[in-house]
Amino acid sequence: MTKHFSRQTNSLISIVCIASLFVLTSCSTQHVSNAASRSSSQAVESTGLEASLSLDGQAMLVTNQVEYASAIKNIQAGQTIVLANGVWHDFEMLVIGKGTQQKPIRVMAQQEGKVILSGLSSLSLYGEYLEVSGLVFKNGYSPTGVVISYRAKADQLANHSRVTRTVIDGFSNPDKFSSDYWVALHGRYNRFDHNHLQGKNNAGVTMAVRLDQVLSQQNYHSIDHNYFGPRPILGSNGGETLRIGTSKYSLSDSFTTVENNYFDRANGEVEIISNKSGKNVFKNNTFFESRGTLTLRHGNGNVVEGNVFFGNGKDHTGGIRVINGDQTIRNNYMEGLTGIRFGGGLVVLNGVPNSKINRYHQVDNALIENNTIVNVSNINLAAGSDAERTAIPINSRFSKNLIVNQQQQPFKLFDDMSGITFADNIMNHPAPNQISGGFEVQNVALTRNQNGLLVSATAQSQGIGADQNLTPIDKTSTGVQWYAKDSQEVVFSSGNIINVDSAEALTTAISQSGPGDKIVLATGEYDINKPLQVAHTLTIAGENRASVMIFPGRTLLAELQDGASLRLESLTIDGNRAPDSAGNVLVRNSRTPTLQNYRLELLNVTVKDLNVNHSAHVFDAGYRSMANHITISNSSFSNITGDILRLDKEQDDLGIYNVEYLTIENSEFKNVQGALAKVYRGGTDESTFGPHLYMRGNTLFDVGNGKRNKHAAAIHLLGVQDADIINNTFEQSQRIIIDHTVGEPQTLIQGNRFIQTALPLVTETFAKGPSTAILIDNTHTGSK
């Protein structure tokens, strides 16, 4: 029997049995524990209506927003509103009321995962003892700048309230750099648990604890058992997954507990968690292949305990960064972390003397003990030491830690270590000379225990390293069980194979293809007379590079729409039938800013004769576009009047850039009037990892000599953080020009031949002194 709420009488029925969801022989009353009870933090998630619907009081089913508004207006303690299954479009949902600990007010899905809030939708809570559960936010974004807010207005906060078993998936503002939050915690004694958040593509913290008023400080919130799923590389500051406080209020205490959460490939920026307040506890969280660190950026007296970091050798995976006073780092496990500089496995920073509240306070009285650190590339102490950051760590202790590396010892010391006492540590390599004592060198034998962690029986017997019983929380124990946690990037050529033999068939195949499909072109000529519109991950390949000829007939060959990625493989592109127009482009992004990151690969292709008019380019990145990677491999480019790769659109100097990884290998570039690559990352922000350039085994002849190449460079890099230019030949070409800006750029130029080509020029914009670039084993012949 299904009963509906009557708008005419505004009456609330006492018991509801929803026949479409489950069958009961009789309606029953079930009890659910206090929504915000701290004692329930370890509770197992409830997944069905029969397990989560309180029938102590009264309940109603509402089917539209008008019914909901009427119901919430009259809600009383102990009552429940059930949202009918379906899509609730443009629903700015306000949950308002005053429940009690024994009788909370609940708003819930008729069936968890079947109530979808789409379009311009949001959720705000205002009152006491409120609980919301079972919703999915998808296919839209918040019109208010917050998807889920624990307040209605600045003075209308929620306390003792809970959001649980709810999903936010890709609910991102389409303007990538329009910053917003997905979750904002205000008030006190609130809980956010067993939720699933993934795919935030735009700027702004995924989840923030707000301390911008007294009634939200010393809040004792609980953030537990959540699945923080993949967050793509943002390519700018503002990509944190969790932030507690802000610089302005960082001397205030929050008393927030963050425990038993799973951070899965949370790659937004260098801070996965940005702690900016005091007295918080980060306990028993798992970080899986996540770029960046748990960063104690501001605030004092925080505890980081029992967390597990699995980097699995992935680039820029980090651990814990320590700043400020009275921080405790104990019983954590870190393995396979490759991060460098501020994103290392364990980083203790230098501070700024008499620091302003938004800079770097001195590390004072830090306790770093009983941690296990295995195959971690960098433990950086006094990191960031420079003319401003001169306040070394003081009154601190580094003890009973187990450090085992297969290669070399991981310590990098950037200043005086006299303020740190080292005692009772075990390491399998000698410590640096600047550290006097405190390390016993052992050939440590490690075995992997039943919890998946490497342990040493010898170290355990001495009370050194993390507790052998430390158990990382598994992602299946977080979030919800009814929403998949297998979000993966679509792999090229992972779908169907579609064979075509004409230009018309190619256009049709693209429009009818699916993500991951591969279109194979038969031997022949293909005159493309309208731009190819690529809408998803797609491969276009020829049967044979020499016998499949594509002739662009318009100013643009292919456009990548938002969400698209393209691989061109084993074919030849000939520009001699292109229109006589300046600025022709083979491939570009949409002219409008894009939200989702893309990939571009040119593998075993020939591109020639883009010279009908001047400034014909191979690839032109769009403004506010971001490539996870661009790869050119085993390819040939000749007779081109413009640039090969234009990745320099973000010149407003906000730290934004157009590509994370650029790889150019085993390819030939001949008679290219523009540059092979122009890569730009301006500004002074230090919150990102890239761009990266890896260039090996290429030959460049007569590259960069065109009069419209304003930098007079074959390769022009500004702000690139990591560049390896190895074993290439540059002949009769313009030089490489590199400008080191923020961070600690790493440039290696090795084993190259420069023939009638000037040697590379590397300048330092901010750092004083000689360039930090390494130029070794290069040869230079000729007059330039």
Q: What ranges do the domains of the chain cover?
A: 132-477, 497-739
**First-to-final CA distance of the chain:** 88
pLDDT in the model for residue 35 = 34
**C-alpha atoms less than 13 angstroms from C-alpha of 22 in its C-beta half-sphere:** 16
Cα–Cα distance between 45 and 572 in angstroms, integer? 56
Q: Among residues 143, 146, 86, 149, which one has the least CA distance to residue 119?
A: 143
Q: Which residues contact 642 (CB under 8 A, 6 or more apart)?
A: 583, 584, 610, 614, 615, 616, 617, 618, 673, 674, 708
Instruction: Give the other-Cβ count within 10 Å of 755's Cβ.
Output: 16
b vs e for 595-613, b when ≥16 Cβ sit within 10 Å of the residue's Cβ? bbbbbbbbbbbbbbbbbbb
Instruction: Compute φ and ψ for 214, nearest 5 degrees.
Output: -60, -40
The answer to whether 87 touches 61, Cβ cutoff 8 Å, is: no
Using the CB atoms, write b or e for 704-727: b if 16+ within 10 Å.
Answer: bebeebebebbbbbbbbbbbbbbb
Cα–Cα nearest to 517, from 543, 542, 499, 544? 499
| DSSP classification of residue 14 | S
- Cα angle 210-74-131, degrees, rounded to a multiple of 5: 40
At 204, the amino acid letter reads G
Q: How far apart are CA 59 and CA 110, in angstroms?
A: 11
- CA–CA distance, 776 with 772 (Å, rounded to integer): 13
| pLDDT, position 358 | 87
Distance CA 693, CA 685 (A): 19
The per-residue pLDDT for 654 is: 87
Query: Looking at the DSSP assignment, which residues form a beta bridge with residue 107?
Result: 81, 132
Query: What Rg do the C-alpha atoms of the chain give, in angstroms?
Result: 29
Return the HEC string of 392-415: CCECEEEECCEEECCCCCCEEECC
The half-sphere exposure of 60 on its side-chain side, counting CA atoms within 13 A, is 25
Contact 24, 80 (CB under 8 A): no
pTM passes above 0.95: no
**Contacts by 509-517, CB closer than 8 A, 24 or more apart:** 510/534, 510/538, 510/540, 513/538, 515/490, 516/490, 516/491, 516/492
The contacts of residue 705 (CB under 8 Å, 6+ apart) are 673, 732, 733, 734
Beta strand residue intervals within 655-698, DSSP E: 659-665, 668-672, 677-680, 692-696
Mean pLDDT by 10 residues, the chain (784 residues): 32 32 28 34 39 54 96 95 98 97 97 97 98 98 96 96 98 92 97 97 94 93 97 88 92 96 94 96 97 95 98 96 97 96 93 89 96 96 88 96 93 93 95 90 93 95 95 96 90 96 96 97 96 97 94 96 96 95 93 92 98 94 94 98 96 91 98 97 86 98 95 96 97 96 90 97 84 93 83
Query: Nearest to residue 377, comparing CAs of 349, 352, 412?
Result: 412
CB 197 within 8 A of CB 205: no
- Token readout for 485 is 């946690």
Residue carrying structure tokens 């923020």: 742
132-477 and 497-739 have identical folds: yes
CATH number for the domain whose boundaries are 497-739: 2.160.20.10
Burial track 161-194 (b if 16+ CB lie within 10 A, e otherwise): bbbbbbbbbbbbbeebbeebbbbbbbbbbbbbbb
Cβ neighbours around 766 below 10 Å, total: 10
Report cis status (omega within 30 of 0) of the bond before 691. yes
**Structure token digits, residue 18:** 């929803």
Query: For the CA atoms of 563, 569, 573, 578, what is the dihedral angle to 10 degrees?
Result: -10
Other beta carbons within 10 Å of 365: 16
Residues making up the chain, counted from first to last: 784
How far is Cα 769 from Cα 10, in angstroms, rounded to an integer?
76
Are residues 186 and 149 in contact, defined by beta-carbon separation less than 8 angstroms? yes
Q: For position 8, what pLDDT does the model report? A: 31
Residue 447, strand partner residues: 455
Between the CA of residue 347 and those of 180, 240, 726, what are the distances in Å? 29, 18, 30
- Residue 382's identity, in one-letter code, is A
Tokens describing residue 63: 């089917």
Distance, in Å, from the CA atom of 230 to the CA atom of 294, rounded to the nearest integer, reads 16
Q: What is the CATH number of domain 132-477?
A: 2.160.20.10
Both tokens of residue 475? 């992602």
H helix intervals, 450-555 = 457-461, 503-512
Q: Quote the pLDDT of residue 18.
A: 34
